Amino acid sequence: MGLVRRRPGKHGLLIALLFALCSMSGCKQRSWPLWKAYEARFLSSDGRVIDRTAGGCTTSEGQAYALFFALVDNDRTTFDRLLRWTQVNLAGGDLATRLPGRMWGQAKDGQWELLDPHSSADADVWMAYTLIEAGRLWNAPAYTSLGRAMMAQIAKSEVADLAGFGPMLLPGPGGVRQQQTLTLSPASMPLFVFQRFAAIDPAGPWGQVAANFPAMLAESARHGFAMDRVNYIPGDGFSPAAPIETVNNASETPGGSRDAMRVYLWAGMIDRGSPVRAQVLNAIPAMNAYLAKHDAPPQNVSDQGIPLAQDGPVGFSAAVLPYLRAFPGSSRQSARQTVRIGRMRDPSTGLYGKDLATYDQILVLFATGFIDGRFRFGMGGELNVDWTR
C-alpha cells in the first residue's frame, strides 16, 4: 500500500538517487534562481550593478558582493564582466595600484562618472578576498595576483594600529578622525575574510585584526546589540558612533541598524570549529533574545541598546538567519523569520520586499546561499562552494 510497496521503474530510481546525492553533498552546478533574478533586475550588460533605489548609482560594495555571488554560482563570464567594469570605472583601469572609488553615478551636469573616488573598506576586503578565492577555485593565478595586490593596498591605507589596542581595519584610507577619536565599522570586518588573509600573508596585520575583532565587538556592543559605527579613544575604549554618512547625507544618531545587520550575518557564518566563534556570538546575544518575543528584527537599536518599535525590512530577517541557527534552541525564532521572508517574496520578479531594494536582495542572497549549502567558510576562512564537490 502506498510508497512502501511501489516499485519504481529505472527512470524513477535514477531520479530518486540523483536527488538524494544532491541533497547530501551538493550538485556541481545547481541553478540559483535568486541570483539570476538579481542579475536580471540590477546588473547591466556591461557589468554594472545598478542601485535603482539610489538614483541608479553604482557602489564598489555592490560590485564586490556581485563578484562573490558570481563566483559562488561558478559564472566566470559574469565575474569577468563585473571585474572589467569595476577596474575601468572605479579604479582608473588597474585595481592592482588603486583601490576602487566608492560611488559612480550621474553628476549635476548630467555626466555619468566617479562621484566619490575614496575607497570603502567594506568593498575592498570582499573584493580582494573574492579575487583570491576565484584564483584558487578556477585555477586562475591572475585573479590571485590582483587580490594580493589589493590586500597590500588595504594594509597600507586602511589598517591602523590603535594605541593601547592593536591593528584594526578602518572604514577607508586614513579613517575618520576627530582629535584622538577614530571611527570604525564592525560590519566591514568579516572574521573569516581576515583569517584567510592571515593564511595567505602571515607577515601582514590580518591575524592581529582577526584576533582583536571579538574584543572590539564585545566592548562596542550595547546590551548585546551590534552597532553600525563605533568610536575608539585611547584609554577610554569603544563606544557607539554616529554614521559617517547616509544615503541622503543626513545626520543620524548613533545606534545599530542597516550596517549592524551584517555583523550578525557574518557572525553566523563563522565555521563551527573556530575557537573564536563563541566569543563573537557571545558578544551579540541580544538579537536572539529579542526575536524570541518579536516577529522581526527592529529597524533601529539605540546607542543604549534599546530596540525601537518599527520592524526592519525583509533583508534584516534574512541577515539574522545564519546567526539564529548558531544558537541552540532558537528554531522557533529562525522559523518565524523564514516565514516572514517567504511572505515578502515578489512572485513576479523572484525578489524580496515592497520596494525590491538592492541591499535587501544582497542580504537574502548571502543568508539563503549559506543556509542552502551553496557556500561555506572553512576553519582558515577559505571559501567552499558546492560546485567543487
> What are the tens digits of pLDDT across the range 277-307?
999 999 999 999 999 999 999 999 999 999 9
What CATH number did the domain enclosing 64 receive?
A: 1.50.10.10
What is residue 103's DSSP assignment? E
Q: For position 204, what pLDDT does the model report?
A: 97
Question: Alpha-carbon Rg of the chain, whole angstroms?
Answer: 21
Catalytic residue among 122, 124, 158, 259: 122
**Average of per-residue pLDDT across 271-275:** 94
Q: In sequence order, which residues have a C-beta less than 8 Å from that of residue 288 and are 6 or more positions away?
A: 323, 324, 327, 330, 333
Asked if the structure places residue 25 within a domain, the reply is no
Number of domains in the chain: 2
Q: For position 94, what pLDDT does the model report?
A: 96
Clarify whether residues 123 and 222 are in a common domain. Answer: no
Clarify whether residues 223 and 366 are in a common domain. Answer: yes
Q: For position 177, what pLDDT does the model report?
A: 59
The neighbour count for residue 2, using CB atoms within 10 Å, is 5
Q: Which of 68, 69, 74, 71 is nearest to 27 (CA)?
A: 74
State yes or no: pLDDT of 1 exceeds 80: no
Active site residue 61: yes
Catalytic residue among 51, 61, 124, 228: 61
Q: Which of 124, 308, 71, 204 is nearest to 81 (CA)?
A: 71
Clarify whether residues 176 and 145 are in a common domain. Answer: no
- Give 127-143 pLDDT, tens digit per residue: 999 999 999 999 999 99
Q: For position 93, what pLDDT does the model report?
A: 96
Clarify whether residues 170 and 148 are in a common domain. Answer: no
Report residue 251's pLDDT band, with 50, 70 and 90 as the boundaries.
very low
The percent of the chain in helix, strand and coil, each rounded to the nearest 5, is 45, 15, 40
**Percent of the chain residues past pLDDT 70, beyond the cut:** 89
Active site residue 124: no
Q: For position 14, what pLDDT does the model report?
A: 35
pTM for this entry = 0.90
Q: For position 28, what pLDDT does the model report?
A: 53
Clarify whether residues 137 and 200 are in a common domain. Answer: no
Clarify whether residues 116 and 243 are in a common domain. Answer: no
Clarify whether residues 177 and 302 are in a common domain. Answer: yes
**The domain containing residue 73 runs over which residues?**
30-157
